Amino acid sequence: MSRSVLKRAVGVVRGAASSMPRRTPSLPESANPPARLSLISRHLAPEYPINTPYTIERLPDTIDTSRLPKTQTRKLSYSATMSSQPPHPTLLIPGPIEFDDAVLQSMSHFSESHVGPTFVATFGETLTMLRKLFQTTDSSAQPFVISGSGTLGWDIVAANLVEAGEHVLVLGTGYFSDGFADCLRVYGADVTELKAPVGSRPQLPEIEKALSEKKYKMITVTHVDTSTGVLSELEKLSELVHRVSPDTLFIVDGVCSVACEEIAFDAWKLDGVVTASQKAIGCPAGLSISMFSGRAIKALENRKTPVAAYFASMNKWLPIMKNYENKKPSYFATPSPQLIHSLHTALTQILAQPLSERFAAHKAASDKIKKAVADLGLKQLASNPDDQAHGMTAIYLPETVKQAEILPQLAKRGVVFAGGIHKEVATRYIRFGHMGVSILDPRRGDVDRAVKALEEGLSECGYQKA
Amino acid sequence: MSRSVLKRAVGVVRGAASSMPRRTPSLPESANPPARLSLISRHLAPEYPINTPYTIERLPDTIDTSRLPKTQTRKLSYSATMSSQPPHPTLLIPGPIEFDDAVLQSMSHFSESHVGPTFVATFGETLTMLRKLFQTTDSSAQPFVISGSGTLGWDIVAANLVEAGEHVLVLGTGYFSDGFADCLRVYGADVTELKAPVGSRPQLPEIEKALSEKKYKMITVTHVDTSTGVLSELEKLSELVHRVSPDTLFIVDGVCSVACEEIAFDAWKLDGVVTASQKAIGCPAGLSISMFSGRAIKALENRKTPVAAYFASMNKWLPIMKNYENKKPSYFATPSPQLIHSLHTALTQILAQPLSERFAAHKAASDKIKKAVADLGLKQLASNPDDQAHGMTAIYLPETVKQAEILPQLAKRGVVFAGGIHKEVATRYIRFGHMGVSILDPRRGDVDRAVKALEEGLSECGYQKA
C-alpha cells in the first residue's frame, strides 16, 4: 500500500482527535461520589431527556444532543500510537481480524442506557456512517445493526424477503453459499443452487440461462466465499440480473468483503448486503450489519404472509433503526452499547480516508501476498486471478505437508492462520486473512512476518520449492 | 446487605487474582515485532492445535490448554480497587446495569480465533460456570450462549420447543410476557395468555384451572417482568405444573432475574430459562444466555416438523456448545470472543461467593429501597410484597409529578432511572434498577445517592409527602 495514503488517513484522524476532549483514564474523583456528582451535573443540560422506550411517542423532537454530556472519548489511535495490547499471536485468519487499539478501548465504554441520548446519538451516527461505507445516498435504503453473529444476516434475508415456496437462485461458491442456501430452505424458500467447482464461481452465461428458466424472487451471491477466497464480480452480475430478470432481488453476502472489497450499493443496484463486524470492518464479533434497498423494503411490505421470525424481523427493527438515525430513542430489543461504540470507532477510522484508497491498499497487500505464495511454488484455491479475493488467500499445501504440521509451525512463529473449511478439500489447504490494521498499518509488519513464517514453517516441514 | 458477606467475597477474589500472572498494560515489546515474536514463541507449546472448524473431526483430544499461552489476564477488581471508569451518570435502570471495571476491561481483550484453544477454553469454562449459576448438576441440562439480545431467547424457545399449532399457556404479567407471547405466535404456537391486572401476577388456582382445560405443550412465566417489577413464584408454580400437567414444558423468562433472584434449575424442575448478559449477570449486552433441561432437549429431538429458525436453531448450536465445554473447537456461527471473556469475568466474580449470599444481598438492598420508597409516601406497581422483585422497583409517581419532570431531576443529580413501559400506565411510573455492583459494592454509594436524588428531585418537582 502507499504510505502517503496511510499518512493522510492518520492526519485526518489526528485532526479529529485533537478537537475532542482528552480521556481521563483514572480520575481520583471517580471513586468519590460527591466530586463525581458535581463533575457530572456541571455537564448535564436541564432537558436531559427521558430514558424509556416510550420516549419516542412523547418527546419526539426534544433531544438536542449537542448540549448533552459527551460520551466516553476514544483515542483515535489508528496506527498513530504504540499498541496498548499485551503481546499475543497475530491473528491472520479471515475473521475475526486484529483490532486497532482505539476500537478495542471502545469495547470498554462505561455503561449507558440503550435509550439514553448519548448512546442514541452514537448509534445514529453509526448508521449514517454505514451508508457511506456502502456508498449509498438513496434515502430509501436502510442500514440495520443487530446483535448477533454474521449468520443472523442470512435469517434476516430468508425470513423477511422470501415467502415459503418462492424461488431463490443461490450462486454456489463453497461452504458459505451452502450455508445461505440451508438457511433459506429453513424459512421455506424453494432454492436452486448453481454450484461451481471448488475455487471457482458460477459463470455469467450459466447464470443467465438459470435466470431465464424460472422466475426467481431472489438471487444470492457470496461476494467473497471465506471457505475458498473466491471473489464474485458484483457489477456485471447485477447488470445481468437487472437485464434478464429485473424483478429479482439481488442479495449479497458481504461478510468477508465489506470494507475490503469495493461495494457500490446504489451504482450497482444492490438490494441487500449482509455482513458482520469482525472482518474487514475491524470491530469485534457480535454485530450483524446489513443494508437493504427501498425495493427490498417494498418486498417486505408486500408480503402475503407474516414475517417468519421475531428477533430477525425487519418489520420490528425498521422503525427502531429509523428512529436511532434520527436520534430518537426507541426500543425493540436491547442493543449492545459497547459493541456499537466499537463499531462507531471502526467506521470513523475507515471513513477518515477515501474508500477507494482503502480498497486499493487491500488490493496492493493482496497482490504482494499472492506473489509471495506463487514464489513459494504454492497454488491458490482460486486459480483465476480475476476471482481472487483481496482480504484473504486460500492456499493449497504442498502434497508432502499436512495442515496439522504447518499450522503449529506458524503458531510457533506467532502467526495464526486458519485451516480449510470447504468440505471437498478441507485438510488440503490453509487460509491467510489480510484485512484491516494488519495491512493498513505497515509498522505492524504483520504481512512480512506471516510470509516469512510460512516460508520457514514449510521448510521446517521438509518442503522445498521444486 | 451484610458487610461480612461482601468481605468474604472480596477475599476470595483477591486470592484468585494473586495466583494469576500480572497484566502488563503496555509492554514496549508489543510494538517491536521481533521482541514480541520471541516473547510469544517462548510460551507456545509445540502442539498448538489447528485453528479450524474441522479440527474437532481431526484432533478430538489433542488440546492440552494447560500448556498453551495464557489468555489476556483480567484483574479481578470486583470492589477491591478504585474505579478506572471515567466519571459518568450512574445507570440505575433495570438493565443494562453498571459494570465492574474488570468486566469492562475484559471487553477489550485482544483478538483471538473463535476456534483457537485459548478462547475455546474460556468459552468452555463460561458454560460450566453457567451450570453453577443456574444450580444444575444434571448433565442432561445444556447451557447455550449465543450472540444476540435477550429477546433472541424467546425465538430459541419458540422456534425449537414448540411446533406450529401446539398450545402454549403464557402467564401475563406485562410488556415482556406480551412480547414472549407475540414471539411464540410468530412461530405458529397457539397461545393462551392468562393476564393479570397491572402490578400483579396470575394466581395459582386460575393457572391450575387453565392447565386442566387444555393440553399445553408449554407454559411460560416471566420471572421478573421488567415492565412492572412483579416477581413470579417459580417453585410453587413448578410444583403445580408438574402435578396438574406433568408433560408440559415449564419455561422461564429470567432476563431480569438470573443472578439476582434464586433459580434452582434442578430442584425446581425447570425445563428452560432464557436470559441476557446485561442485567444482574453484569456483563455488557450482546449475549443471549439460556439453560435447557434434558426433557426440553428431548422435545427438540422428538419434533415432527423441522426447527423453524436457522441462527436460533438449537440443533445447530447443541453440538457446538457441547464441544466448547469439552474444550473442542467447533463452528456454526462466529461467537464474540470479547463478550465471552467479559461474561467469563462476570461469572467468576459471581461464583466467588455463595449464591445464597448474592441473593440475600439483593434482597437486603431491595428491602431498603422499598422502605425508602414507602417512606417517601410512594406506591409500587407490585403492591403485594410477596410479588416484588429484588433487582428493581417500579414506582408510581405522585399525581402531581410528571415523568418528564422527575427523570431530568434525577439525571441532574447523576442518576439515570428508566421511565415506564407497561402500556396501560407507561407515563405514570418510573423504574429503579438495583442489581450487581451497584448494590454489592457499598463503597459506590449508588443506592443511597439514588434514594437521595429521588427525594430531592421529587421535592424540586413540588412534591411533599402527605
In tens digits, chain B (466 residues) has pLDDT values of 344 444 333 333 333 333 333 333 333 333 443 333 333 333 333 333 333 333 333 333 333 444 444 555 444 443 334 578 999 999 999 999 999 999 999 999 999 999 999 999 999 999 999 999 999 999 999 999 999 999 999 999 999 999 999 999 999 999 999 999 999 999 999 999 999 999 999 999 999 999 999 999 999 999 999 999 999 999 999 999 999 999 999 999 999 999 999 999 999 999 999 999 999 999 999 999 999 999 999 999 999 999 999 999 999 999 999 999 999 999 999 999 999 999 999 999 999 999 999 999 999 999 999 999 999 999 999 999 999 999 999 999 999 999 999 999 999 999 999 999 999 999 999 999 999 999 999 899 999 999 999 999 999 999 998 7
Is the pLDDT confidence value at A86 over 60? Answer: yes
Residues B230 and B262 occupy one common structural domain: yes
Select the residue from A83, A110, A157, A253 to test the B interface by mutation, using most B Cβ atoms within 10 A: A110
Same domain assignment for residues B157 and B295: yes
The one-character DSSP state at A196 is P
Write the residue in B99, B109, B419 that is nearest to A111 by C-beta.
Answer: B99
Find the angle CA(B369)-CA(B375)-CA(B378) to the nearest 5 degrees: 85
Mutation to test the A interface, candidates B55, B81, B108, most A Cβ within 10 Å:
B108
CATH label of the domain that carries residue B213: 3.40.640.10
pTM of the model: 0.87
Q: For residue A96, is the peptide bond before it cis, meaning its omega torsion is within 30 degrees of 0?
A: yes
Does position A358 have pLDDT exceeding 80, yes or no?
yes
Spatial separation of the C-alpha atoms in residues A160 and A3, rounded to whole Å: 44
Give A119-135 pLDDT, tens digit per residue: 999 999 999 999 999 99
Of the residues B111, B315, B443, the best mutation for testing chain A's interface (the one with the most A CB atoms within 10 Å of its CB) is B111
> How far is A161 from A16, CA to CA, in rounded Å?
40
B183 contacts on A by Cβ (under 8 Å): 310-311
Q: Environment class of residue A452 by beta-carbon count within 10 Å: exposed (0-12), middle (13-18) or buried (19+)?
A: middle
> Considering its fold, how many domains does chain B have in total?
2
B164 touches chain A (CB under 8 A): no
CA-to-CA dists, residue A45 to A64, A445, B412, B427, B457, angstroms: 9, 47, 8, 22, 15
Q: Given A113, A149, A150, which is nearest B91 (Cβ)? A: A113
Q: Does B82 touch chain A (CB under 8 A)?
A: yes
Tell me whether residue A4 is in a domain: no
ipTM of the complex in this document: 0.87
Structural domain includes residue A22: no
Both A412 and A289 in one domain: the answer is no
Return the beta strands (E) in B156-215 as ranges.
Answer: 167-172, 190-195
Residue B429's DSSP bridge partners are B396
- Residue A239 domain flag: yes
| Residue A101 belongs to a domain | no
**In this structure, are B151 and B241 located in the same domain?**
yes
Q: Which helix (H) or strand (E) holds A432?
A: strand A429-433
Are A26 and B84 an interchain contact pair (Cβ–Cβ within 8 Å)?
yes
Q: Is B86 on the interface with A (CB under 8 A)?
A: yes
Q: Is A315 on the interface with B (CB under 8 A)?
A: no
Per DSSP, A111 falls in state: P
Q: How long, in residues, is chain A? A: 466
Shared domain check, A268 and A139: yes
- Cα(A332)–Cα(B446) distance, rounded to whole angstroms? 28
Q: Domain of B374?
A: 31-94+355-466
On whether both A147 and A267 belong to a single domain, the answer is yes
CATH number at residue A428: 3.90.1150.10
Do B127 and B177 belong together in one domain? yes
In this structure, the answer to whether residues B324 and B261 fall within a common structural domain is yes
Q: How far is B184 from chain A (nearest CA, A)?
A: 9
Mean pLDDT, chain B, rounded, equals 87
Whether A400 is in a domain gets the answer: yes
Q: Which residues lie below 8 Å from residue B120, measured CB to CB, with a gap of 6+?
A: B63, B65, B324, B327, B328, B329
Residue A447: φ, ψ to 5°: -65, -50
| Closest CB from A24, A54, A417 relative to B426 | A54
Residues B344 and B325 in one domain: yes
pLDDT in tens, B246-300: 999 999 999 999 999 999 999 999 999 999 999 999 999 999 999 999 999 999 9
Question: How far is residue B16 CA from its own chain's centroid?
Answer: 23
Residue B103: its H or E element = helix B101-107
State the number of CA atoms in the 13 A half-sphere of A283 facing the CB. 33
Asked if B142 and B322 count as a contact pair (C-beta separation under 8 A), the reply is yes
Mean of the pLDDT values across residues A316-320?
Answer: 98
pLDDT grade for A83, boundaries at 50, 70 and 90: confident
Which grid cell sits at A181?
442456501
Which of B317, B350, B383 is where one domain is finished?
B350
**Is the same domain home to B339 and B415?**
no
* Beta carbons of A186 and B149 less than 8 Å apart: no
Contact B324/B255 with Cβ under 8 angstroms?
A: no
Q: Please name the residues between 441 and 460 in chain B that touch chain A, using a CB distance below 8 Å.
A: 443-445, 449
Residues of B in contact with A155 (CB under 8 A): 309-312
Q: Are residues B140 and B271 in the same domain?
A: yes
Pairing of strands A230-231, A224-225: antiparallel
Q: What are phi and psi of A362, to 5 degrees?
A: -65, -40
Query: What is the four-CA torsion angle of B160, B164, B166, B171, rounded to 10 degrees?
Result: 70
Any chain B CB within 8 A of the CB of A202?
A: no
Report if residue B100 sits inside a domain: no
8 Å CB contact of A40 and B87: yes
CB contact under 8 A, A408 and B50: yes
- State whether A211 and A345 are in the same domain: yes
Single residue among B320, B350, B380 that ends a domain in this structure: B350
B194: its cell numbers: 392468562
User: Which of the residues B50, B73, B104 would you substitute to probe the A interface, choosing the one with the greatest number of A C-beta atoms within 10 Å?
Assistant: B50
Using an 8 Å Cβ cutoff, are A243 and A236 in contact? no
Query: Cα–Cα distances in Å, from B455 out to A370, A386, B369, B406, B450?
Result: 68, 69, 12, 10, 9
DSSP character string of A197-230: PTT----HHHHHHHHHHS--SEEEEESEETTTTE
Cβ distance of B311 and A286 shorter than 8 Å: no
Whether A399 maps to a domain, the answer reads yes
Q: Which of B326, B350, B374 is the last residue of a domain?
A: B350
**Residue among A55, A183, A418 minimizing CB distance to B51:** A418
Residue B11 lies in a domain: no
User: Cα separation of A242 and A250, whole Å?
Assistant: 9
Candidates B147, B310, B404; nearest CB to A182: B310
Q: Is B360 exposed, middle or buried (0-12, 13-18, 19+ CB in 10 A)?
A: middle
Residue B285: which of A49, A278, A334 has the nearest Cβ? A334
Contacts of B84 in chain A (CB under 8 A): 25-26, 30
Selected for mutation to probe chain B from A316, A336, A402, A428 (highest B CB count within 10 Å) is A336
